[in-house]
Amino acid sequence: MSELTDLTLAEARDGLKAKKFTSAELTDAHIDAVEAARGLNAYILETPEKAREMAFASDVKLAKGEGGALEGIPLGIKDLFATEGFRTTACSRILGDFIPTYESTVTTQLWRDGAVMLGKLNNDEFAMGSSNETSAYGAVANPWLAGNTDKVTAKSALSDLATAGGAGVLVPGGSSGGSSSAVAARLCLGATGTDTGGSIRQPAAFTGIVGIKPTYGRCSRWGIVAFASSLDQAGPFARTVKDTAILLRSMAGHDPKDSTSVNVPVPDYEVAVGRSVKGLRIGVPKEYRVEGMPAEIEKLWHQGAEWLKAAGAEIVEISLPHTKYALPAYYIVAPAEASSNLARYDGVRYGARVPGKDITAMYENTRAAGFGSEVKRRIMIGTYVLSAGYYDAYYVRAQKVRTLIKRDFDNVFAAGVDAVLTPTTPSAAFAIGSKASTDPVEMYLNDIFTVTVNMAGLPGISVPAGMSSENLPLGLQLIGRPFDEETLFALGAAIESSAGSLPKAEKWW
């Protein structure tokens, strides 16, 4: 029943309710797809027994006409979410075989609504990266191949993906690369992600799917491995705007266990999908027209504005003057918070321990062996910018810039703009190994359009909008007012329908 994996989440939900198939059948079809796609390295832990058990329980409810909003729907979970009784590593050696005794709030809510867990998904170590190449479990393959890539060569590259790269294959984006690859390759109907500087939106754009980072405070961070606490937010990936709306409704909500989660009602986001965008004012920021941006990205951006105009929205040019400082400020704030959050991995409380002659040597040995090089780089930058002599020069200044970035958006929204339209990324997916081995700054530049949104705490969605000259997916980003994810779903659906039916990643793995 492989066609069951081609359904959208909404179609699967309706099919289950109409008793066209059972959750056991739907889940088995996905378990088979996951097994057949091991080469992509998207899942780092498969939980088929748990999945079958959950599907069975859902079928009992569905047979009685009961069940929650996601009853019987198989999902993949980014390895940053703590799953009770199931290994959670954030794809770092330092967490070793850590098995949490608790469940994150977001996943608790998904299971409460009836979703089925297929397994844990690969990501960049501690979510630090834009390509999933920093994972201790190795790189993940993007199910999309560049125009001229030979399928046989690509398939053979998969055999050494976890250890030796995988020449000829593209990255799925990062840090939620396992999530984006799994959803695009139809290895689950939806997946969770986290986004600190773009880790939901950029991988969604690179794999031709939808991803939304909600407003900071919309989803609880409790039970999610922390990277940079003032920027981290959870959000969903799926193949349609409607499917992400359905997932976000279950994931969102106030949680007393996270003091930064906000106590505002969670709307029925599905209703917003298909809502008219007539009369909405869409800002196009001139500062996002960055040097070296390929013409095809510029063209897509223009096309997106035209589509929204045709749907009745008004397009206005806006200015976000502090955009140029966003990336350097982000790469001070995020590592600063990361260095503090990661201090807890000391070889005593969690996971791996490497002994030493005394306790200090044990800490040093554990951290030297347990962290990968990108994480070490972030810890060193973070402790440097927080150190006594440099705190004012770097950290305090970056926080001031952050306030200015937020103010830019406040001004635009106060002037009547309802959402901002930008490209999601400055390029299509790049090849594994092409950026990681050279200059880390080149990798950081990929986050240019996404980090401002985290710095300002705003919601942002990435929607597939077209294909590159190499037949790779490209995405457009919409940024909204705080807690106005509904407008993003309405506008995202308008872009989705204007873009028409875009190609799907063809199975070669």
Catalytic residue IDs: 78, 175, 199
By CB under 6 A, residue 484 contacts ligand GLN: no
Distance of closest approach, residue 142 Cβ to ligand GLN, in angstroms: 16
Give the pair of three-digit tokens for residue 302: 């223009």
By CB under 6 A, residue 130 contacts ligand GLN: yes
For ligand GLN, the binding residue among 72, 74, 129, 177 (CB under 6 A) is 129
By CB under 6 A, residue 122 contacts ligand GLN: no
Number of residues that make up the chain = 509
Report the DSSP beta bridge partners of residue 139: none
For ligand GLN, the binding residue among 128, 224, 238, 467 (CB under 6 A) is 128
Distance of closest approach, residue 91 Cβ to ligand GLN, in angstroms: 12
By CB under 6 A, residue 216 contacts ligand GLN: no
Return the range that interacts with ligand GLN (CB under 6 A); candidates 124-132, 153-161, 184-192, 501-509: 124-132
DSSP helix/strand/coil, 476: strand
Q: Where are the beta strands (DSSP E) in 153-197?
A: 190-195
By CB under 6 A, residue 132 contacts ligand GLN: no
By CB under 6 A, residue 109 contacts ligand GLN: no
CB closer to ligand GLN out of 231 and 246: 231
CB closer to ligand GLN out of 154 and 479: 479
For ligand GLN, the binding residue among 45, 127, 209, 238 (CB under 6 A) is 127
Return the range that interacts with ligand GLN (CB under 6 A); candidates 192-200, 311-319, 379-387, 460-468: 192-200
- What is the Cα–Cα distance from 433 to 170, expressed in whole angstroms? 9
Four-residue CA torsion sign, 341, 347, 352, 356: positive
For ligand GLN, the binding residue among 143, 172, 198, 203 (CB under 6 A) is 198
CB closer to ligand GLN out of 50 and 406: 406
CA 443 to chain centroid, in Å, comes to 17
Place of tokens 């799907």: 504
By CB under 6 A, residue 199 contacts ligand GLN: yes
Return the range that interacts with ligand GLN (CB under 6 A); candidates 152-160, 191-199, 241-249, 412-420: 191-199
Alpha helix (H) ranges present in 311-432? Answer: 326-341, 359-370, 373-386, 397-414
CB closer to ligand GLN out of 69 and 445: 445
- What is the Cα–Cα distance from 265 to 253, expressed in whole angstroms? 7
- Within 236-275, which residues bind ligand GLN (CB under 6 A)? none
| Distance (Å) of CA 476 to CA 208, 254, 309 | 10, 29, 15
By CB under 6 A, residue 195 contacts ligand GLN: yes
Angle, CA of 443, 132 and 419, to the nearest 5°: 70
| Distance (Å) of CA 489 to CA 30, 221, 245, 423, 477 | 27, 22, 7, 17, 11
CB closer to ligand GLN out of 280 and 338: 338
By CB under 6 A, residue 474 contacts ligand GLN: no
The count of C-alpha atoms lying within 13 angstroms of the C-alpha of 359, restricted to the half-sphere facing its C-beta, is 2
Cis bond upstream, residue 175 (ω within 30): yes
Give the pair of three-digit tokens for residue 214: 């909600």
Using a 10 angstrom Cβ sphere, with 0-12 exposed, 13-18 middle and 19 or more buried, the burial of residue 263 is exposed
- What is the Cα–Cα distance from 172 to 180, expressed in whole angstroms? 6
Return the range that interacts with ligand GLN (CB under 6 A); candidates 57-65, 158-166, 197-205, 499-507: 197-205
CB closer to ligand GLN out of 332 and 463: 332
By CB under 6 A, residue 214 contacts ligand GLN: no
Backbone phi, psi, residue 497, to 5°: -75, -35
Return the range that interacts with ligand GLN (CB under 6 A); candidates 6-14, 146-154, 196-204, 289-297: 196-204
DSSP helix/strand/coil, 480: strand
- What is the Cα–Cα distance from 87 to 75, expressed in whole angstroms? 17
Find the helix or strand (DSSP H, E) in which 304 lies. Answer: helix 295-310
CB closer to ligand GLN out of 193 and 208: 193
Per-residue string for binding with ligand GLN, 392-431, x by CB under 6 A?
A: ----------------------------------------
Neighbours of 28 (CB within 10 A): 18
By CB under 6 A, residue 196 contacts ligand GLN: yes
- What is the Cα–Cα distance from 101 to 117, expressed in whole angstroms? 17
By CB under 6 A, residue 133 contacts ligand GLN: no
Residue 241 backbone class (left: φ over 0; alpha: ψ -120 to 50; beta: rest): alpha
By CB under 6 A, residue 74 contacts ligand GLN: no
Distance of closest approach, residue 37 Cβ to ligand GLN, in angstroms: 24
- What is the Cα–Cα distance from 452 to 444, expressed in whole angstroms? 13
Place of tokens 């873009």: 499
Distance of closest approach, residue 129 Cβ to ligand GLN, in angstroms: 5
Per-residue string for binding with ligand GLN, 436-455, x by CB under 6 A?
A: -----------x--------
Distance of closest approach, residue 227 Cβ to ligand GLN, in angstroms: 6
Return the range that interacts with ligand GLN (CB under 6 A); candidates 61-69, 125-133, 217-225, 351-359: 125-133
Residues that bind ligand GLN (CB under 6 A): 127-130, 175, 195-199, 227, 334, 447
